[in-house]
A and B are shown apart, each in its own frame.
Chain A
Amino acid sequence: MTMASVSKTFSNGTAALTDVSLTVRAGEFVSLLGPSGCGKSTALRIMAGLGGVSSGNIDWPASRITSSGRPDGDISFVFQEPTLLPWRTVAENVYLPLQLQGISRKAAQPRIEEALSTVFLADFAKAYPRELSGGMKMRVSIARALATRPKLLLMDEPFAALDEITRQKLNDEVLELWKSNGLAVVFVTHSVFESAYLSSRIVVMKARPGRIHEDFPVNVGIERDADFRTSESYRLTCERVSHSLGAAMGGEGH
């Protein structure tokens, strides 16, 4: 996925993004980090093909483009909220993207089961969303995103509303998913620590107007597991990211 000098101005005149160029390659884990209002979520929406750009180009070279100018089925999105349909069971929620592609329930069944077992919710297929905890709902949301077997997974602060323990657990699970599936992930977050733990590359953004401050690889060749969280290299990564973020914030006189 490639964005070339993309700018986006909202109808009220706010410049959300100016001159953003970013290429996400297969198998990368990119975090978009920055203060609120720096256009992280807007950038993510543009990557998903939601909402047009004011100038610049966006292309998905590896995907088939549909008649509406959007990549076909290769991109999935996990929102800040689980956004499950309350009238559908867990399995039916995971089935939704496949159903919208016109795949029959029977043909989709193996994929639904596979996606649910990836997030350890195989036993909850028949439950309704209201019966699940916040972390489980988020897992269903991830399973739904995986059901289409995407090449690129876009996550918009997916764990912001969860408690720290659940959040760490889900971080590990996402990391595991990324390692085993070979998909590219773009992860929007406010958290230095989360981005330092998860990413193979971090893009720090600046606000007003939203633009890229710095773009650098992290954790090159390091195995990330429970030990990594307490290691010196993790601390160094955090320091590196914090400084970059500090510089991005400092530039506007906070």
Chain B
Amino acid sequence: MENGERSEQLDRLIRIAIPVGVVLALLLVWYLIVHVENIPPYILPDPIAVAGALVKDWPTLWPAFLVTTKITFMSLGLALLGGTVFAVLLVQARWLELIFYPIAVVLQVTPIVAIAPLILIYAPTTQAALLICAYLVAFFPILSNLVQGLKSVDHNHLNLFELYGANRFQTLWHLKLPTALPYFMTGLKIGGGLSLIAAVVAEFSAGSSGAGSGLAFRILEAQFRLNIPRLFAALIMLSVLGIAIFALTSFLSWLLLHRWHESSLKREN
């Protein structure tokens, strides 16, 4: 028993130590390459210079981080709401699906980023344009996964509900939505990642400046000024944001599914 406990502790230690070790090793390799090859900091700064920039430029970068975070989460939230409502409507009424299917396909296969310039022209403010772009990109994976999930209901379960005289709303609420939950979570994870990408790309094409601009603009600006350490610092903040979104959606998925769904179960045999 004690052996088992010890090996479990060791296991946990290894699971933390290895990723941390890999990151540290990569940083060391980065540092060594910069110094052995004598690469100038305006091409590739070493990790220490990047850390310095992160601290020094914090007053510029932090508000930008907040702007990007806000756009990402607002668009994701709207996409969740819109995608869910729309998916439920589509599944409830066949003719609605027939009407919207071609539109959905066109919007889904067109790279939304390509219509960002148009959105920038039509939208009242740059912020609104960014929000619309990120929303459109996150909306479709959530919609199509949820539609798929709502249609994947076991026929035996449907018979069961019919037999016990369930009405449409009961069937939706007690059967279709829980069945679709794992699909919804997949859509949410994909949508979460995409909304950040879309927010960044839309900002690249918007090229807005001044107080209300996000991390993507700070990256462009740093590139123009050859302020490469700041560029790296902004990149790190973006990837921290990406990781946070991933962790949040994964945690949410675990919270809702771990008690019953196969994807969250440990295999024991």
B154 within 8 A of A: yes
Please tell me which one of the listed residues B159, B162, B164 contacts residue A96 in the complex, with CB atoms under 8 A apart.
B164
Contact call B170/A100, Cβ cutoff below 8 A: yes
B172 within 8 A of A: no
| Per-residue contact bits, chain B 225-269, to A (CB 8 Å; 1 contact, 0 not) | 000000000000000000000000000000000011110010000
Contact call B174/A99, Cβ cutoff below 8 A: yes
| Per-residue contact bits, chain B 180-197, to A (CB 8 Å; 1 contact, 0 not) | 010000000000000000
B86 within 8 A of A: no
B171 to chain A minimum Cβ distance, whole angstroms, is 9
List residues of chain B with CB within 8 A of the CB of A130: 260, 262, 265
A101 within 8 A of B: yes
Contact call B174/A50, Cβ cutoff below 8 A: no
Contact call B157/A87, Cβ cutoff below 8 A: no
Please tell me which one of the listed residues B161, B178, B259, B261 contacts residue A100 in the complex, with CB atoms under 8 A apart.
B161
List residues of chain A with CB within 8 A of the CB of B165: 66, 68, 70, 72-73, 100-101
Please tell me which one of the listed residues B164, B170, B174, B261 contacts residue A86 in the complex, with CB atoms under 8 A apart.
B261
List residues of chain A with CB within 8 A of the CB of B159: 50, 77, 79, 83
Roughly how many angstroms separate A50 CA and B158 CA in the complex, as a whole number? 11
B38 within 8 A of A: no
Roughly how many angstroms separate A101 CA and B265 CA in the complex, as a whole number? 33
Closest to B175 in A: A85
B160 within 8 A of A: yes
Contact call A100/B154, Cβ cutoff below 8 A: no
List residues of chain B with CB within 8 A of the CB of A129: 260
| Per-residue contact bits, chain A 116-136, to B (CB 8 Å; 1 contact, 0 not) | 000000000000111000000
Contact call B157/A100, Cβ cutoff below 8 A: no
Contact call A100/B175, Cβ cutoff below 8 A: no
Please tell me which one of the listed residues A73, A83, A87, A96 contacts residue B156 in the complex, with CB atoms under 8 A apart.
A83
Roughly how many angstroms separate A96 CA and B154 CA in the complex, as a whole number? 16
A35 within 8 A of B: no
Please tell me which one of the listed residues A48, A85, A99, A101 contacts residue B163 in the complex, with CB atoms under 8 A apart.
A48
Q: A83-B154, A85-B178, A100-B170 are in contact. Are A77 and B260 (CB under 8 A)?
A: no
List residues of chain A with CB within 8 A of the CB of B160: 77, 79, 83, 96
The count of residues in chain A whose C-beta lies closer than 8 Å to any C-beta of chain B is 26
A48, A79, A86, A100: residue with the most chain B Cβ atoms closer than 10 Å: A100
Contact call B175/A79, Cβ cutoff below 8 A: no
Closest to B265 in A: A130
Roughly how many angstroms separate A66 CA and B259 CA in the complex, as a whole number? 37
Roughly how many angstroms separate A87 CA and B149 CA in the complex, as a whole number? 15
List residues of chain A with CB within 8 A of the CB of B27: none
Contact call B164/A100, Cβ cutoff below 8 A: yes
A209 within 8 A of B: no
List residues of chain B with CB within 8 A of the CB of A73: 165
B166 within 8 A of A: yes
Contact call B260/A128, Cβ cutoff below 8 A: yes
Q: A50-B162, A100-B165, A100-B166 are in contact. Are A86 and B260 (CB under 8 A)?
A: yes
List residues of chain B with CB within 8 A of the CB of A85: 157, 174-175, 178
List residues of chain A with CB within 8 A of the CB of B166: 100
Which A53-73 residues have C-beta < 8 A from chain B? 66, 68, 70, 72-73
Please tell me which one of the listed residues A72, A76, A81, A128 contacts residue B259 in the complex, with CB atoms under 8 A apart.
A128
| Per-residue contact bits, chain A 84-116, to B (CB 8 Å; 1 contact, 0 not) | 011100000000110111000000000000000
B181 to chain A minimum Cβ distance, whole angstroms, is 7
A90 to chain B minimum Cβ distance, whole angstroms, is 12
List residues of chain A with CB within 8 A of the CB of B265: 130
List residues of chain A with CB within 8 A of the CB of B259: 87, 128
List residues of chain B with CB within 8 A of the CB of A86: 260-261
Roughly how many angstroms separate A70 CA and B161 CA in the complex, as a whole number? 13
Roughly how many angstroms separate A87 CA and B181 CA in the complex, as a whole number? 10
Which A143-199 residues have C-beta < 8 A from chain B? 148
List residues of chain A with CB within 8 A of the CB of B175: 85
List residues of chain B with CB within 8 A of the CB of A66: 165
Roughly how many angstroms separate A109 CA and B192 CA in the complex, as a whole number? 41
Roughly how many angstroms separate A99 CA and B161 CA in the complex, as a whole number? 11
Roughly how many angstroms separate A50 CA and B154 CA in the complex, as a whole number? 16
A174 to chain B minimum Cβ distance, whole angstroms, is 19
A130 to chain B minimum Cβ distance, whole angstroms, is 7
Roughly how many angstroms separate A96 CA and B166 CA in the complex, as a whole number? 10
Q: Give 18 CB contacts A-B under 8 Å.
A: A50-B162, A66-B165, A68-B165, A77-B159, A77-B160, A79-B159, A79-B160, A81-B156, A83-B159, A85-B175, A86-B261, A87-B181, A87-B259, A100-B161, A100-B164, A100-B166, A128-B260, A130-B265
Give residues in B with beta carbon < 8 Å to A: 154, 156-157, 159-166, 170, 174-175, 178, 181, 259-262, 265
* The 4 A-B residue pairs with the shortest CB-CB distance in the complex, in nearest-first order: A83-B156, A97-B164, A87-B260, A100-B164
